[in-house]
Amino acid sequence: MINADETRPPQRGGFQNINAAETVAPGGAVADAGASLHLMSGESVAGSYIINAMLSGQGKQSDVYLAKKWGKSYVVKVYHDGWHPSPQMQDFLMNVRHPNIAHIVECGEYQNRYFEIYEYYSEGTLETATDVTNAHIQNVIIPSINEGLNELHKHGIVHCDIKPSNLFYADNGKRVVIGDCGISGYANSNGKLVDAVRGTPEYAPRVRALLWSAAMSPAFDYGSFGLVLCRMILGRSLFSGMSVEEISRAWENGIELPSQIEGRFSSLVKGLITEDEEKRWGYTQVKRWCEGEFMRPVNRNIYARPTKERSTKPLIFGRFDGQTLSVSSLHQLANTIKSHWDQARKIVKRRELVDFVQQFDKSLPAQIRPLALCHDEDAAVFKLLLLLEKDSSRIFYCGKEYADLSSYVNSLSSGNDQIAIKFLCSGMLVSYLREMDYEQAQVDKLEQLIKKNTTADMTAICTICFALQGRTSITVFGVGVDSLDALVSAIVGRTTKEIDELIISDQFKAWLYRMGYDKELKHMNEL
């Protein structure tokens, strides 16, 4: 029995393969693995993602690797020969910015194989979690999965394979992220996915449907959600050790929930795994359950007519062109801040902001209150945006947006983007990197480097860009140089004029700073 009073986060094991469990392909057959590339450690994908190791053995559709870029870890998923991920799905996952959905950082082709790159969730999956308390299930797991599924379903996507190994921990166990949308599909106008039947039998609510073609809807995902909850409460799958045929018979004979699934959890699970998908619980019912409402598991068709959401008190943002502008959600607040940065400087100091965000996330007020005391108003607004868009890799500062760190570095390196320079000198770049969970040691070194180069001249800027790009070499007279010995070899035979031009260049000075040749640079400046 799990102690409902305990609130500690679960103990987690290591990262599992994205396709760890057996997945049924169209027609009910297990997908065969095509030829794979077997990438080696040190090999680079998409130019700058350096492969460290394979995360597990060969998968059915793809191989999964751990890679690093700029000190941050990523997952590289390389599809086998013959597998073609949906361009429509990739486009969605590239653009989605939701705390409970793993988005694609980059995708493309490598050696005639399709690849996708995701953020690396080092805290493991629900499959590897142990010592999970009822409180943790109720307060973290259920809301996270519910909100993630709702986002997918709003865009007409049926995941088709919700299971513990596809649900990843983030933020020290405070958030669960839905991953591996590789076999997901788009529903038609009737809310049904009719092209193929998919899923993992152990976590499929309608197992018989896995044996032949049948339509699938968002209700399928919520049925799988219910079976995942059984796994978290019991510590094992409801159908552990059973074959597909045995699982199918269990559904036909009627499922009796084990006694460990009791109280409010019993009503929730029954509502989610009821065989009649027209009566199966969905987003609205689960949300109301999380809010403490007692509910019967058998309900009307939840997809026919949405239930009215609980109203919230809007935040008056300001008056513009004689009209009052108000916001009613955190997403709306973030977008309004971006379009009205000057007004946001005032908003961040108002008590009404704290009261507003508390309606959506009770953890936010404690993080937002200190921002009102921040002397740098632009820094306060930027930090507020970081809190509102925790999973977004975009950088938005003083009215200007950069798609990601790479885009920012490119703009910074030009030396003409004053906002990019201000962002660097204000210390907000370091704040951004820490919030995005870049490798701690790397960020610490960068912070020291920024403090050492306090001016905003081009040498300092180039130095920071070198560090951000992870560069340790520079091209000197057409030769790659990564040490003083290599530098000496490159300049042998060059004229005095050529060497003088090299010494005064910002790029060269930046490289010396980057490599720690401070004494040599000081000596050169004295010449």
Domains, the chain: 26-119 (3.30.200.20), 134-290 (1.10.510.10), 311-392 (no CATH), 474-526 (no CATH)
Nearest alpha carbon to residue 465 among 94, 70, 120: 70
Q: Which residues pair with 229 in a beta bridge?
A: none
The residue-averaged pLDDT of 253-265 equals 82
pLDDT > 90 in the chain, percent: 27
Look at residue 13 and tell me whether its pLDDT is greater than 70. Answer: no
Nearest alpha carbon to residue 113 among 151, 76, 70: 76
DSSP H/E element including 462: helix 458-469
Q: What is the pLDDT of residues 102-119, one digit of tens each?
A: 989 999 998 888 899 999
Please state, in angstroms and rounded to a whole number, the distance separating the CA atoms of residues 53 and 291. Answer: 43
Identify the residue with better confidence: 197 or 520: 520
Identify the residue with better confidence: 268 or 440: 268
Identify the residue with better confidence: 520 or 332: 332
In the numeric block, which tokens belong to residue 169?
């921990």
Q: Which of 126-135, 305-314, 467-476 has the lowest mean pLDDT?
A: 305-314
Write down the pLDDT at residue 469.
Answer: 58
Write down the pLDDT at residue 380.
Answer: 94
Write down the pLDDT at residue 304.
Answer: 31
**Residues 167, 126: contact at Cβ < 8 Å?**
yes
Tell me the CA distances in angstroms from 399 to 339, 402, 408, 420, 483, one per residue in order: 7, 10, 14, 11, 41
Q: Does pTM surpass 0.85?
A: no
Q: Which of 177-181, 390-394, 461-465 has the lowest mean pLDDT?
A: 461-465
Please state, in angstroms and rounded to a whole number, the distance separating the CA atoms of residues 91 and 67. Answer: 22
DSSP H/E element including 506: helix 506-515
The residue-averaged pLDDT of 341-352 equals 92
Look at residue 277 and tell me whether its pLDDT is greater than 80. Answer: no
Look-up: residue for tokens 């660097």? 424
Q: What is the dihedral angle through the alpha carbons of 308, 311, 315, 319, rounded to the nearest 10 degrees?
A: 60
Write down the pLDDT at residue 319.
Answer: 81
